[in-house]
Amino acid sequence: EVQLVESGGNLVQPGGSLRLSCLISGFPSNAYSMVWVRQAPGKGLDWISYIDAHSITMYYADSVKGRFTISRDNAKNSLYLEMTSLRPEDTGVYYCARDPGGFSSGWSDYWGQGTLVTVSS
């Protein structure tokens, strides 16, 4: 059974940093690209970042470029999102998801339950 479990969400002050993790199980983590998707409270889905299966290619939404870094450790079956210079508008639930397609054609077929990040003083 495919399982994605996010962790690391917390309350952080503006300008602060946070590292999210996503533990992968139920499929070979080195066989699939992964993405992070954010959902602000009461709002829609917002794609944040993409990483291919072997960490060769990474993409970011303009809203987080230069502040967030996606990475993965296939040996630890884990995906990460390092977030710096956090802003109140970064508040939301962060989902990791498995991505079977390419960046321009792909979709997310399995999602974690999400982890809440709150940026506030």
The residues binding other proteins (CB under 8 A) are: 35, 37, 44-47, 50, 59, 61-62, 95, 97, 101, 103-114
Min separation Cβ 59 and other proteins, Å: 7
Q: 112, 58, 53, 113: which is closest to 82 by C-alpha?
A: 58
Tell me if residue 8 falls in helix, strand or coil. Answer: coil
Min separation Cβ 74 and other proteins, Å: 22
Q: Which residue, 13 or 45, is less far from other proteins as judged by CB?
A: 45
Tell me if residue 7 falls in helix, strand or coil. Answer: strand
Q: Which residue, 12 or 96, is less far from other proteins as judged by CB?
A: 96
Strand (E) or helix (H) holding 93: strand 92-99
Min separation Cβ 114 and other proteins, Å: 6
Min separation Cβ 4 and other proteins, Å: 9
Q: Which residue, 9 or 106, is less far from other proteins as judged by CB?
A: 106
CB neighbourhood size of 72 (10 A) = 22
How far is the C-alpha of 57 from the C-alpha of 91, rounded, in Å?
26
